[in-house]
Amino acid sequence: MATARVSFDAAVVGGGLLGTATAYHLVSAGARTLLVDRADVGRATDAGAGILSPETNSRDPEAWFRLACEAVDDYPALIDRLRGEQANDTGFAQCGKLVVAVSDDELEPFARARRIIFDRQRRRGLPKPGDLHEITAAEAGELFPPLAPVHGAIYSRTAARVDGRLLTRALRAAAEARGLVVRTGGVERLVREGDAVRGIVVDRQTVAAGAVAIAGGAWSDALGRQLGVTIPVAPQRGQILHLGLHGADTSRWPMVSAFRHQYMVAWPDSRVVAGATRETGSGFAPHTTAAGVRAVLDEALRVAPGLAGAELREIRVGLRPLTSDTLPVLGPVPGIDGLFLVTGHGPTGLTLGPYSGKVVAAQMLGRPPGTDLTPFSVARFRSSVG
Ligand SMILES: Cc1cc2nc3c(=O)[nH]c(=O)nc-3n(C[C@H](O)[C@H](O)[C@H](O)COP(=O)(O)OP(=O)(O)OC[C@H]3O[C@@H](n4cnc5c(N)ncnc54)[C@H](O)[C@@H]3O)c2cc1C
């Protein structure tokens, strides 16, 4: 095959939400940009539930919390901008979220979550008390009718959700309108010249690029290894169920989570999405399992027995790109000029994704990211940078 020499200011490897958001911000800043996507089965973005609610999170560390709050604060402006730039919906809405304790064994984790959530609220001064507070069991049941009687409930009125597939499509449409070039295919390797990355090889064709971002989700490590950089990202399978509630008006139902790592997200089309398994060590095996589906259904019906008559409409499976310390990997690779990472977002990539893409795109263009990315540098895996 002839190798025509083509050249871009920037190339992005991976067309999930992270890569697409990065590419969108690059072209928005005027950079000639190429996005290459292999569209692997198991792409996490296609399965994601879409919960954007750091204010109800009591699991992740402070570094994540700060970044996630910045990311969620940035969402409404991005959604407004996308509305003006292209025609696709994104599914974004401030639908609210409940955190509930359903059984006795959840009382202690509920008390711990309450402490962390309200402590963070006090320190930030946000959300306002009227937007994040405890409510009674009866109030919780009114908000989400299929709910079991609960021992306690915290309500975030402004928690939001988004449809990962639709958002990625919208970002891509807006970016293509600004000149983004998209190629379907696999990036076989990165082009290294001395201590710098100067491009990529896709379908045996060399493409020169001033900066390259790896946004390959769970598949990211393969490209890093070629350069002696270990990106400790591995696939964590998630199985998630779409339940149909014929004719029910679900448009105002909030999202719900309890304390067994699962949740429910209602959508306006009489649909409740229940998920998801967190199968660490699953490998690249994006298929459903009998045990996984049973686990999700058992938990959904424990928290919301009123869903028992729902129709099982669809099962999605995604491979979350999970790092060894659960934090994302963002920013330049020390010692390799021109190479950037936007990966490892695990279970919160829809929350962080558009913002992560924005801040790394800024760095790729030689601009300050506008936030402290030190906790997310690949350099934290000290022995891994070769
Ligand atoms: C069941 C489930 C529920 C979730 N729920 C939520 C949620 O409620 N809230 C939230 O914030 N997050 C959630 N997430 C997490 C979120 O979906 C992910 O963190 C995010 O989508 C990761 O996006 P990504 O672009 O990094 O990876 P992906 O979406 O997996 O995309 C990676 C892309 O890179 C491509 N690629 C890889 N290597 C190459 C190569 N060499 N050349 C070309 N292309 C390549 C792949 O083909 C793929 O298309 C959930 C995830 C799952 C699975």
Query: Ligand 1: does its nearest atom lie under 6 Å from the Cβ of 345?
Result: yes
Q: So what's the pLDDT on residue 60?
A: 95
Of the residues 34, 242, 320, which should be mutated to test ligand 1's pocket, given the most ligand atoms within 8 Å of the CB? 320
Query: Ligand 1: does its nearest atom lie under 6 Å from the Cβ of 186?
Result: yes
Tens digits of residue pLDDT in 280-338: 999 999 999 999 999 999 999 999 999 999 999 999 999 999 999 999 999 999 999 99
Radius of gyration of the chain (CA): 21
Question: Are the beta carbons of 33 and 11 closer than 8 angstroms?
Answer: yes
Q: So what's the pLDDT on residue 383?
A: 55
Of the residues 236, 288, 350, which should be mutated to test ligand 1's pocket, given the most ligand atoms within 8 Å of the CB? 350
Rounded CA separation 224/188 (Å) = 11
Query: Ligand 1: does its nearest atom lie under 6 Å from the Cβ of 296?
Result: no
Query: Backbone dihedral region of 103: left (phi > 0), alpha (psi from -120 to 50 degrees) or beta?
Result: beta
Query: Ligand 1: does its nearest atom lie under 6 Å from the Cβ of 360?
Result: no
Nearest CA to ligand 1 atom 33: 14
Query: Ligand 1: does its nearest atom lie under 6 Å from the Cβ of 164?
Result: yes
CA of 16 to the centre of ligand 1 (A): 5
Question: H/E element holding 116?
Answer: helix 107-124
Which amino acid, residue 326?
T
Query: Ligand 1: does its nearest atom lie under 6 Å from the Cβ of 328?
Result: no
φ/ψ (deg, to 5) at 60: -90, 155
Residue ranges in the chain modelled with pLDDT below 70? 1-5, 383-386
Q: So what's the pLDDT on residue 113?
A: 98
Rounded CA separation 168/160 (Å) = 17
CA of 343 to the centre of ligand 1 (A): 9
Query: Ligand 1: does its nearest atom lie under 6 Å from the Cβ of 240?
Result: yes
CA of 180 to the centre of ligand 1 (A): 20
Query: Ligand 1: does its nearest atom lie under 6 Å from the Cβ of 349?
Result: yes
Nearest Cα residue to 331 out of 357, 350, 353: 357
Q: So what's the pLDDT on residue 382?
A: 74
Residues in CB range of 280: below 8 A, 6 or more apart: 234, 236, 322
Residue 64: HSE in the Cβ half-sphere, 13 Å Cα cutoff? 20
CA of 135 to the centre of ligand 1 (A): 34
Nearest CA to ligand 1 atom 26: 217
Q: So what's the pLDDT on residue 5?
A: 65
Contacts 24+ apart (CB under 8 A), 133-142: 135/98, 140/98, 140/100
